[in-house]
Structure 1
Amino acid sequence: MSDEVRTYDLIVVGAGAAGLATAHRAADLGARVLVLEKADTPGGSAALSAGILWTAPDLDVLRRIQPDGDPELGSLVVKGYEQAVDDVRASGASVSDEWRDHLEWGRACKIDIARLFEVWAREIADSGDLLTNVSRVELRTEGDAVMGVRFRHRGECVEAYARGGVVLATGGFQGDPELRQSFIGFGADDIAVRSNPHSVGDGFRLGRSAGGAASRHLSAFYGHTLPSPLTVDARVFLRLTLYCSAYGIIVNRQGRRFTDESLGDEVSNQLLVRQPGHRAVLIWDDEVQRKRALAVPYPSGMALDRHAEATELGARTAAADSIEGLIGTVAGWGVDGAGLRRTLEAYRRASEGADVPLDAPLPLRPSPLATPPFRAVEIQPCITIPFGGLRVDGDSRVLDRSGQAVPGLFAAGADAGGAQDLRYVGGIVFGFVFGRRAAESALSSIATRA
């Protein structure tokens, strides 16, 4: 039996980017909102990020980058980007000038995400309740409809009901080894997690318990490679992310390339999970070092020598004045030296126009190892958020297997899946756009019933 029963207009489970955006919009519309967060502070994985708000600049680019993503969800993000930026500005948080070449094709700006979340959290608390250190959340239903939640807070069992329903925004399932292995496979239960530790699939499980269906693209995810064998924690999430891998050569332990590196580090990161031992080696020459590795990866990004810092922290790194010298060191890490030698020679010849077989497509901008010294670092894959989750429509309503909305249930952010596949077209922006849409959809249902 519950110790207490409360009533709200809307309940949001999770206080990351999507949860805060949902609750903020609902409060702005005059609703009384309850937000439940299992951590001791709001913010989720977004609070650990660089605060880059970005996506494709138009639908043509979106379709080129993400041809197999959900066309409705992706287009709503592109169309909702400017509103998301306006919402940040309205809070008083700073927004940088926009740049149009993020990852060479996206539109982006940097926001003061700490300030934004501080303002939104205060406004949410003023309109209702934002509770942290919440546990054992369960959905309360009547028939097929989700009516509220039951949870524990400060030792008490609480029941809360909402006229507009419940929004799931717990940040994805990346922190749960069982779900990673079930959906991503390839021993993904062992890969490092590059996000907050609390996103362990709570929203996904709650949604499924109420009849929600899983989305497409459950095996795809966003993350970045990091030097190995380093412990992955918040101190290295941004500092040692190897954005420059898009301009280098990546080989597995057989010495073979397995990706078109120019598709981006986040694509190489996903394919790395499928390689022997979940490890690979990134190799680049001094021209890439000077022009790419030492440069800021985006405006306001950090300019530092990631190879030198990885070396200092104990990662497997190498530097040599000759290709043979580099191969000798890398072979000592368990990489097939003969295979690596064949791969580098084929890559060089293909970049010069020769018709030679390759294990992976030659990048549009090949980077043959031409200028010594040559550098290498062993890399490991990491997951930040999954691309799969609950199946939703454009109003963030959770759908069942027949495509019908589960009454009273919504999902936003990484709990809502299907919009992205292999390539990445934004993270925080999905939470902001669909959080706003979830709030508006849920509250409009109150007016409809009235």
Structure 2
Amino acid sequence: MNASAETANQGKAADVIVVGGGNAAFTAAHAAAVRGRRVLLLEKAPREQFGGNSYYTAGATRIAHSGLADLVDFIEPDERHSATEVPPYSTADYAGDLAKVTNGRNDPDLTETLVAEAAPGLRWLHSLGLKYRLMYERQSYQRADGTYLFWGGLHVGNVGGGEGLMHDHLRVAQRLGTEIRYGQDVFDLRTENGAVAGVKVRRPDGTVEELRSDSVILAAGGFEADRELRRTHLGPGWENAKVRGTPYNTGQMLTAALELGAAKGGDWRSCHSTQWDAFTPGNESNRELTNRLTRQSYPLGILVNRDGERFLDEGADFRNYTYAKYGKEILEQPGSVAYQVFDAALRPMLRPEEYDMPGVSVATAHSLEELAERIGVDPERLAKTINDYNSSIDLSIPFDPNVKDGRRADTTPPKSNWAAPLTAGPFYAYAVTCGITFTFGGLKGDPHGRVLDDRDSPIPGLYACGEMLGGLFSGNYPGGSGLAAGVVFGRRAGSLA
């Protein structure tokens, strides 16, 4: 750094600089601010696009609890509570689900911390002003007797979804005195005496500003918005995935930390990817539709590719445990497109916020042959696929979407649960492609959020949380555990920085 720059930066910009602007970043900022630290949060996006990936979520957050009575102290009142069953979800259940969906590749120390501290973390955020509720429309079905049963271990979410989450965070940060700067292109870290002591920011005119601090918390997301990095690390074809969330998560600060000596953490070859509206204009980084572009009622129907063939088990498990890996399966199909097919009997059960979305990519027809023609699939092949599926269903088992009902279609590939014959017109085909949410590879860190080098030694002054902290997820993840991890490790990093 030249003499004039050194003179201009004698004073600290803040005690703690947080790089990023999503749930993890704001949680870290709150945790530092309540300790009396002077906090500066640097958001790459302009003010009108604030919120990181978190803004685009439904706000669902996975926590351990012992049932509805254990949740009412921090969720919004609802007249349906008296007719609602919320099964307990223990820390052992939580840890078991993480191990199951990642095939045991989840870091045990990070997992132990996550499952123990997710619920206390939400209660702490609620005490600061964030609002939570039961997610009736996404995680339960109303039963014939009018009661509700929640399923899949994911029960609580933010009031107002991701948009509500981030507006709540913003209000808390402003009340706590956190300084927030938007449009900040943070591209590198600065060091003093072997410790991280600030960041380098590129101004719109190309000049560089160096901001000093005692420590830096990195919460700037993964590399999912960079086509070339996706192709390099995830493989050919991933450059064609649709970016669900913020277009600003380009991996720039991952690169900066690695160049400084940080070790890689987690699985850099996989990501969170889901079924996403294929043809609606503006189906990337859409701040008006956000999560409504997902199509997550697929366990009720079937998925076919452009050849009219099924290619996965739609009913392998509750959607919370399969949706984050099925985007990859669709990316590998011809044209990276598939169709969710339902009949008139199933159509009323689809999530209204997703399947009644304005401009939704759907074809409707009174016969399967007509439907096939409308989606460009060979009618005979589609008819054979659906006839084989229909005729293989064990109809003696009752259909029940609230439980894994074992109502199996014994065809190839099988459908393990929720198999319902597609016989009643009109028929519906929703076009879906791969939507990428975030990448699972990040920086190696300890349970306190301290970034580690290749010798597993903490890099002084450097912390990571949110999607930048690798190690929890690989190949798949349990729904709602991403926001939970942002809360837990953001709070931990902010409590130390």
User: Normalising TM by the smaller chain, what interval?
Assistant: 0.7 to 0.9
Counterpart CA distance in 1 for 2:256 and 2:485 is 20
Task: Check if 1:419 corresponds to 2:472.
Answer: yes
Say yes or no: does 1:224 pair with 2:266.
no
Which residue matches 2:98?
Answer: 66
> Do the aligned residues in 2 keep the contact of 1:6 with 1:159 (CA within 8 Å)?
no
User: Match of 1:12, SS?
Assistant: strand
Q: Which amino acid aligns with 2:213?
A: A
After superposition, what is the alpha-carbon deviation per residue over 1:293-322, rounded to whole angstroms, capped at 9, x for unaligned? 1x45xxxxx38634xx445xxx3x322333
Residue correspondence of structure 1 range 43-442 to structure 2 within 5 A: 43-55=51-63, 57-67=89-99, 68=102, 69-97=106-134, 104-111=152-159, 112-123=164-175, 126=177, 129-142=179-192, 144-153=194-203, 157-163=208-214, 165-231=215-281, 232=283, 233-262=286-315, 263=317, 264=319, 265-290=323-348, 292-293=349-350, 295=351, 302=353, 305-306=356-357, 309-310=358-359, 315=361, 317-330=362-375, 332=376, 335-352=377-394, 358-421=411-474, 422-426=476-480, 427-442=482-497
* Residue equivalent to 2:34: 28
**Taking structure 1 as reference, are residues 76 and 340 closer, same or farther at Cα in structure 2, changes over 3 Å only?**
farther
Aligned partners of 1:27 and 1:123 also within 8 Å: no
1:234 partner SS: coil
Q: CA deviation at 1:26?
A: 0.4
- Structure 1 counterpart of 2:234, one-letter code: I
Deviation at 1:423, TM superposition (A): 3.1
| TM-score when normalising by structure 1 | 0.84
Question: By how many angstroms is 1:201 displaced?
Answer: 1.0
Secondary structure of 1:423's counterpart equals: coil
CA separation of 1:348 and 1:5: change in aligned 2, threshold 3 A: farther
Distance in 1 separating the partners of 2:62 and 2:170? 21
1:247-291 Cα deviation digits (max 9, x unpaired): 11112223222222234233322321222221111111122211x
The residue that corresponds to 2:20 in the other structure is 14
SS at match of 1:25: helix
Distance verdict in 2 for CA 1:119–1:370, change over 3 Å: same
Give the whole-Å Cα distance in 2 for the aligned partners of 1:6 and 1:336.
69
User: 2: distance between equivalents of 1:197 and 1:96?
Assistant: 29
**What SS is found at the alignment partner of 1:226?**
strand
Write the distance in 2 (CA, Å) between the matches of 1:373 and 1:178.
Answer: 42
CA distance, structure 2, for counterparts of residue 154 and residue 318 of structure 1:
45
Contact 1:256 1:359 in 2 (8 A): no
Deviation at 1:437, TM superposition (A): 0.7
Kindly tell me: are residues 416 and 371 of structure 1, through their superposed partners in 2, closer, same or farther at Cα, counting changes over 3 Å?
same
Q: Any idea what SS the aligned residue of 2:478 has?
A: coil
Residues 1:395 and 1:336: Cα distance change in structure 2 (over 3 Å): farther
Matched residue, 1:299: none
Deviation at 1:25, TM superposition (A): 0.5
Offset of 1:338 from its aligned partner?
4.4
Contact 1:93-1:115 at 8 Å conserved across structures: no
The structural deviation recorded for 1:169 is: 0.5
- After the TM superposition, list the runs of 4 or more consecutive aligned residues in structure 1 that deviate by more than 6 angstroms: 353-357
Pick closer, same or farther for the CA change 1:318–1:394 going to 2, 3 Å.
Answer: same
> 1:202: how far off?
2.1
**Separation (CA, whole Å) in 2 of partners of 1:392 and 1:215:** 7
CA–CA distance in structure 2, aligned partners of residues 154 and 267 of structure 1: 38
CA RMSD for the aligned pairs? 2.8
How far apart are the structure 2 equivalents of 1:398 and 1:275?
38
Identity of matched residues, %: 29
2:9 maps to 4
Distance 2:419 2:40 in 1: 52
SS of structure 2 residue aligned to 1:66? helix
Select between 376-385 and 129-138 the one with higher mean Cα deviation.
129-138
The CA distance in 1 between the partners of 2:173 and 2:108, in whole Å, is 32
TM-score (norm: length of structure 2) = 0.77
Q: Distance in 2 between matches of 1:98 and 1:244?
A: 15
Q: How many residues align?
A: 423
Q: For each residue in 1:305-350, what CA deviation from the matched residue of structure 2 results, as whole angstroms up to 9, or x when unmatched?
A: 34xx445xxx3x32233333323333x2xx4544433432332233
Distance apart, 1:416 and its partner CA = 1.2
Q: Which amino acid aligns with 2:492?
A: R
Aligned to 1:446: none
Distance 2:244 2:429 in 1: 22
Which whole-Å CA distance do the structure 2 matches of 1:58 and 1:33 have between them?
35
CA–CA distance in structure 1, aligned partners of residues 253 and 158 of structure 2: 28
Q: CA deviation at 1:216?
A: 2.5
Are the counterparts in 1 of residues 218 and 253 from structure 2 also a CA contact under 8 Å? yes
Offset of 1:355 from its aligned partner? Answer: 11
CA contact (8 A) 2:369 2:379 kept: no
Contact 2:62 2:484 (8 Å CA) reproduced: yes
Structure 2 counterpart of 1:174, one-letter code? E
Task: Confirm or deny: 8 A CA contact 2:9 2:212 kept in the other structure.
Answer: no
* Preserved contact between residue 134 and residue 152 of structure 1 (Cα < 8 Å): yes
* Greater Cα shift, 96-105 or 414-423: 96-105
CA distance in 2, matches of 1:17, 1:356: 41
For residue 448 of structure 1, what is the aligned residue in structure 2? none
Instruction: Return the alpha-carbon distance in structure 2 between the equivalents of residues 214 and 89 of structure 1.
Output: 33
Q: In structure 2, what is the equivalent of residue 445 of structure 1?
A: none
In structure 2, runs of 5+ residues without a counterpart are 65-88, 141-149, 396-406
In 1, the alpha carbon distance for the partners of 2:278 and 2:135 equals: 34
